[in-house]
Amino acid sequence: MESRKVIFRIKRFNPKKDERPYYKEYEIDVPKGMTILEALQYIKDNIDPTLAFRAFCRSAICGSCSVKINGYPKLACKTQVFNELDVYNTNILTIEPIDNMEVIRDLIVDWDSAIQKMEKMRPYLIPDPEVVPETLDEECKVYPHELKKFDKFTDCILCTTCYSACGIVRVDSNYGGPFPLARVYRFAVDPRDSLKKERAKIGFSFDMWNCVRCNKCADVCPKHIAPVDGIMKLRGLSIEIGLRNNPGARHVMAFYKSLQESGMLNEVLLPLRTKGIKGVLENLSIGIKMILKGKAHSPIMKPIKEHETLKEVMKRAMEVE
Amino acid sequence: MGKYAFYPGCAAKGASKELYEATIAVSNKLNLDMVELPEFSCCGAGVLEEIKEVLDIAVNARNLAYAEREGRDIVTVCSTCLLVLRKAKYLLDNDDELREEVNEILKESGLEYKGTVDVKHFHWVLLEEFGEEGLKEKVVKPLTGLKVYPYYGCHTVRPKDIIGYEPSENPQSLEKIIRALGATPVCGERRLECCGFHAFWPAPNISMKLTGLNLKDARKESADCIVTPCPLCHMNLDANQERALKEVGENFKMPVLHVPQLVGLALGISPRELGIHRNITPVNCVQIS
Ligand code: SF4
Ligand code: SF4
Ligand code: FES
């Protein structure tokens, strides 16, 4: 069987013994089809029994084996070594613990911070007595068209891969993070839930508007959930329930207005529409520089050709249930 | 050669005029069959999705339908437009019910979405049409010795389910272009990190911090300049550079070029035609005659 010599550069750290993390290299023969997790297990069984990592199901379902492979978080049990060698065109793979959580030992991180944050966001069904029967004798139906709204978010295995990749989690300690916020959305549109759209307020207080839509969470999720989609929809719900007087929501409405007026974004009016006079003043100096460089358009914009079709499309889309 | 419908997006028509100028200049020089459709509207930058998903998709199905009418693939110079248009296409192509619903919305305006055109980024088209070698042959002023930091940002690579052009963990398209122009790519660890642009309004300090960290990374790699395929990243990195660096306690100047500006310089197009004079941070890394 085809095999390749691979060097695994593994980040090691035992807080009880080591002053700081260090890297240790292991060279092994990897047969085609071997996963990162199998390679780690091989190293532990045959070369270094002190190597610590976490894994249970080996089937991409328990979510415990997420590690960083050449800087990118993935489930070790789902990732084949050969594939990684090809992507990076190398025979050296650096394996590190995932980010945004404290390292317990070697490749094992403490999930508690992420999970505790999620718990505070009440991501569980709070039954609506009008919908959910009191006894188990009656069933509580969820119809396919209702399920479609939140179906994909129920696939989350809580592996925290997305959380570890999120740049906003890194810089904003109050930020809920991708999978917790997506979970809030999941219950906000569950017809059996009593809080319903009001759950958007939870997202609001956990800084959902700070999400930069970088799509890292969508990219790394082993279950293809795209938590960012849930966050976008949760923002939408917040606007629906009237949380409109904030820069995030006003920015959204500025876009809508621009499309209605001309079909193109009116960048000149954007600061004013999003943050009022404060927005203009905050960005005055850069605004002036841009004008001097000929980078501004007139605040009155000429509509695009067939602007009428755009307005019609927007009107009809807004009427859809 | 492919037939392309140029989708500049709002930034290139407004605050990043130089990107529009450079793209047209490069496309003319390389004889690309690329025309801008006057019916194209703003893609909504993902923001419309926050009002209502179907609104976002319908607006972009309209854009796609106009390109289909002309039988031209859409080519954009904005990473966010790329993602938004590709996402709409992806959802429409994979959900029959949604496509029917959206076509019902378009019908009144005499339009229909069929799914016959692709959506590409301008620099992918350069590589697809000419390849690294072919592009090299077109170079008249090689950028020898210039160390360029390829800053991808987010939406040209992620999420892979929708973008899928190259491995999102380790894309190489910008490096290929930089090498073809005779320059040297210098890659830092933040080349795939976000610039924070889409949180600029609700959280300017966070947005500026991310940009500052990216600029610092380019500096650490001793880059002479940064090149980016996204005008929104460019706005944060170039126009907001001073503020971003202040946020991370730094003070230096790092030129930031749009991809077509860098390509254009190597093709021998005059800096003026490429709108280099409009960049806020002076572009002093290349000899501008
Ligand atoms: S899209 Fe939002 S939630 Fe997802 S990783 Fe980026 S900032 Fe975090
Ligand atoms: S959303 Fe995906 S990446 Fe995030 S915790 Fe759930 S399964 Fe893991
Ligand atoms: S071991 Fe369970 S997900 Fe990898």
- DSSP H/E element including A145: helix A144-150
> Which positions in chain B touch A168 (Cβ < 8 Å)?
199, 206
Q: Is the dihedral of CA A238, A242, A243, A246 positive or negative?
A: positive
| Backbone φ and ψ of A24, nearest 5° | -125, 140
pLDDT in tens, A194-233: 999 999 999 999 999 999 999 999 999 999 999 999 999 9
Query: What integer is the mean pLDDT of B141-148?
Result: 96
- On the question of pLDDT at B83 being above 80, the answer is yes
> Which positions in chain A touch B91 (Cβ < 8 Å)?
none
pLDDT in tens, B56-74: 999 999 999 999 999 999 9
Token code pair at residue B161: 């389910």
Of all residues in chain A, the one with the smallest CA distance to B110 is A309
- On the question of pLDDT at B20 being above 60, the answer is yes
- On the question of pLDDT at B289 being above 60, the answer is no
Angle of CA points A148, A152, A158, to nearest 5°: 150
Ligand 2, atom 2, lies closest to the CA of A221
Question: Is the CB–ligand 1 distance for residue A216 below 6 Å?
Answer: yes
Nearest in space to B207 (alpha carbons), one of B248, B173, B172, B251: B248
Q: Is the dihedral of CA A80, A83, A85, A88 positive or negative?
A: negative
Query: What integer is the mean pLDDT of A290-297?
Result: 89
Rg (CA), chain A: 25
Taking the model in full, what pTM does it have? 0.96
Rg (CA), chain B: 19
Confidence (pLDDT) at A298: 86
Distance from CA of B241 to the nearest CA of A (A): 10
d(CA A307, CA B265) in angstroms, rounded, equals: 36
Burial of A149 (0-12, 13-18, 19+ CB in 10 A): middle
Question: Which are the contacts of A174, defined by CB distance < 8 A and separation ≥ 6?
Answer: A206, A207
- On the question of pLDDT at B288 being above 70, the answer is no
C-beta neighbour count of A54 within 10 angstroms: 20
> Which positions in chain A touch B204 (Cβ < 8 Å)?
282
Helix axes of A284-292 and A270-282: crossing angle, nearest 10 degrees? 110
Q: Are residues A295 and B16, on separate chains, in Cβ contact within 8 Å?
A: yes
Confidence (pLDDT) at B34: 97
Strands A103-105 and A108-109 come out as: antiparallel
- Indicate which atom in ligand 3 lies nearest the CA of residue A75: 4
Query: What integer is the mean pLDDT of A57-75?
Result: 97
Question: Residue A158 CA: which ligand is closest?
Answer: 2
- d(CA A28, ligand 1 centre) in Å: 36
- DSSP H/E element including A35: none
- On the question of pLDDT at B7 being above 60, the answer is yes
Question: Is the CB–ligand 2 distance for residue A185 below 6 Å?
Answer: no
Buried b (16+ CB within 10 A) or exposed e, A94-130: bbbbbbbbebbbbbbbebebbbebbeebebeeeeeee
pLDDT in tens, A142-160: 999 999 999 999 999 999 9
d(CA A121, CA A158) in angstroms, rounded, equals: 15
Distance from CA of B66 to the nearest CA of A (A): 10
Query: What integer is the mean pLDDT of B117-128?
Result: 98
Question: Which are the contacts of B203, defined by CB distance < 8 A and separation ≥ 6?
Answer: A172, A207, A209, A210
- d(CA A249, ligand 1 centre) in Å: 18
Residue with tokens 């085809």: A2
Question: Is the CB–ligand 2 distance for residue A202 below 6 Å?
Answer: no
- On the question of pLDDT at A120 being above 80, the answer is yes
The Cα-based distances of A240 to A243, A253, B53, B179, B228 in angstroms read 7, 12, 13, 49, 36
Task: State the best of A70, A219, A305 to mutate against chain B, taking most chain B CBs within 10 Å.
Answer: A219
d(CA B180, CA B265) in angstroms, rounded, equals: 13
| Cβ contacts from A onto B, under 8 A | 200
Question: Is the CB–ligand 1 distance for residue A220 below 6 Å?
Answer: no
Q: Are residues A210 and B59, on separate chains, in Cβ contact within 8 Å?
A: no
C-beta neighbour count of A212 within 10 angstroms: 23
Largest CA distance in chain B: 57
3-state DSSP of chain B: CCEEEEECHHHHHCCCHHHHHHHHHHHHHCCCEEEECCCCCCCCCCCHHHHCHHHHHHHHHHHHHHHHHHCCEEEECCHHHHHHHHHHHHHHHHCHHHHHHHHHHHHCCCCCCCCCCCEEEHHHHHHHHHHHHHHHHHCCCCCCCCEEEECCCCCCCCCCCCCCCCCCCCCCHHHHHHHHCCCEECCCCCCCCCCCHHHCCCCHHHHHHHHHHHHHHHHHCCCCEEEECCHHHHHHHHHCHHHHHHHCCCCCCCCEEEHHHHHHHHCCCCCCCCCHHHCCCCCCCCCCC
Confidence (pLDDT) at B285: 87
- Fill in the DSSP letter of residue B239: I
d(CA A244, CA A258) in angstroms, rounded, equals: 17
Q: Are residues A268 and B58, on separate chains, in Cβ contact within 8 Å?
A: no
The fraction of chain A above a pLDDT of 90, given in percent, is 89
Would you call A75 helix, strand, or coil by DSSP? Answer: strand
Distance from CA of A159 to the nearest CA of B (A): 18
Question: Is the CB–ligand 2 distance for residue A227 below 6 Å?
Answer: yes
Query: What integer is the mean pLDDT of A46-57?
Result: 98
The DSSP string of A260-278 is: HHTSS--TTTHHHHHHHHH
Q: Are residues B52 and A235, on separate chains, in Cβ contact within 8 Å?
A: no
Question: Is the CB–ligand 1 distance for residue A235 below 6 Å?
Answer: no
Task: Give me the residue from B54, B154, B279 closest to A214, CB to CB.
Answer: B154
Nearest in space to B260 (alpha carbons), one of B241, B244, B279: B279
Per the rule left: phi > 0, alpha: psi between -120 and 50, beta: everything else, A306 is left
Do the Cβ atoms of A62 and A158 come closer than 8 Å? no
- For the question of an ipTM over 0.90, the answer is yes
Question: Residue A165 CA: which ligand is closest?
Answer: 1
Q: How confident is the model at residue A174 (pLDDT cuts 50, 70, 90)?
A: very high
d(CA A273, CA A122) in angstroms, rounded, equals: 34
Q: Are residues A211 and B199, on separate chains, in Cβ contact within 8 Å?
A: yes
- DSSP H/E element including B230: none
What is the identity of the amino acid at B212?
G
Token code pair at residue A240: 């629906």
Ligand 1, atom 3, lies closest to the CA of A178
Q: Are residues B48 and A255, on separate chains, in Cβ contact within 8 Å?
A: yes
Nearest in space to B28 (alpha carbons), one of B285, B192, B275, B269: B269
d(CA B250, CA B220) in angstroms, rounded, equals: 12
d(CA A41, CA A6) in angstroms, rounded, equals: 15
